[in-house]
Each structure stands twice: as structure tokens, then as C-alpha cells.
């Protein structure tokens, strides 16, 4: 089955700096890679996703890159703000198969004002 690894487990940045979270996956059939943000005590919520036919996707201060050859994808947050503080999860799935998401173990991001 799919195995998703995520690094780092914790990340602290100064407000205004950039944050990068990296994930690797094992199954070359995976073709959908979402990122979820989970604030303390809340449910995970999708913030951005990318499909295997695209190398990069941006949405305001958030971008995701995908390297299919190396089987890794990354989340980039620029101009970080205190409200970006949360746990971020990457995930991978094969939308042509069972569509189940396999999650990384999460990164706790703290943005220091």
C-alpha cells in the first residue's frame, strides 16, 4: 500500500518568513495530493491540492510543488502570519482506484509574531 512520510514534525518561523513542508510517497499510481490544515480542536480542512498532471499550483500565499519522478511534493507558505499556526497534513491517493487518502504524520507550524 501507499506510505507517505512528512517532514519536519515541528516548524517554527518568524512572522513574514516562509515555511516549507515536505512529503514523499511510495506508490507511483498515486495521482492526487491534497494538503489539509487542522487548527487546535478543529476538523482538518483542505487548503490546496495538486494532481499528477501538474507540477505546481498556487493560491495566494500558498503553493504546492510535485516531483513525480522523485515521488515528493511540498507545501510552501510565504509571508507567514500568526493565523497560519496549525498542524498541516499531506496526503496521497489514487483517484483511479479506491480513492482512499493516505496521510502523513503532520507538521505543527508555529508562526512567532
Site of interaction with other proteins (CB under 8 A): 1, 6, 9, 32, 34, 42-46, 49, 89, 93, 95, 98-106
When the beta carbons of 32 and 78 are compared against other proteins, the nearer one is 32
* Residue closer to other proteins (CB basis): 77 or 104: 104
> Least separation, in Å, of the C-beta of 43 and other proteins?
4
CB-neighbour burial class of residue 83 (10 A; exposed 0-12, middle 13-18, buried 19+)? exposed
| Strand 107-112 with 10-14, pairing | parallel
User: Which residue lies nearer to other proteins by CB, 70 or 98?
Assistant: 98
- Smallest gap from Cβ 22 to other proteins, in A, equals 15
| DSSP string for residues in 59-95 | ETTEEEEEETTTTEEEEEE-S--GGG-EEEEEEEB-T
Q: Are the C-beta atoms of 70 and 77 separated by less than 8 Å?
A: no
Please identify, using beta-carbon distances, which residue of 81 and 96 lies nearer to other proteins: 96
* Minimum distance of other proteins from residue 44's CB (angstroms): 5
Task: Please report how close the Cβ of residue 100 comes to other proteins at its closest, in angstroms.
Answer: 6
Cβ neighbour number for residue 44 with a 10 Å cutoff: 18
Amino acid at each position: 500500500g501507499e506510505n507517505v512520510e512528512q517532514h519536519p514534525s515541528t516548524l517554527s518561523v518568524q512572522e513574514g518568513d516562509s515555511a516549507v513542508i515536505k512529503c514523499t510517497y511510495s506508490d507511483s499510481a498515486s495521482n492526487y495530493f491534497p494538503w489539509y490544515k487542522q487548527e487546535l480542536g478543529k476538523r482538518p480542512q483542505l487548503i490546496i491540492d495538486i494532481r499528477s498532471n501538474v507540477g505546481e499550483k498556487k493560491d495566494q500565499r500558498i503553493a504546492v510543488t510535485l516531483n513525480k519522478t522523485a515521488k515528493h511534493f511540498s507545501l510552501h507558505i510565504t509571508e507567514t502570519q500568526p493565523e497560519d499556526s496549525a498542524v498541516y497534513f499531506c496526503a496521497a491517493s489514487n483517484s483511479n482506484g479506491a480513492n482512499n487518502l493516505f496521510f502523513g504524520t503532520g507538521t505543527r507550524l508555529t508562526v512567532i509574531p
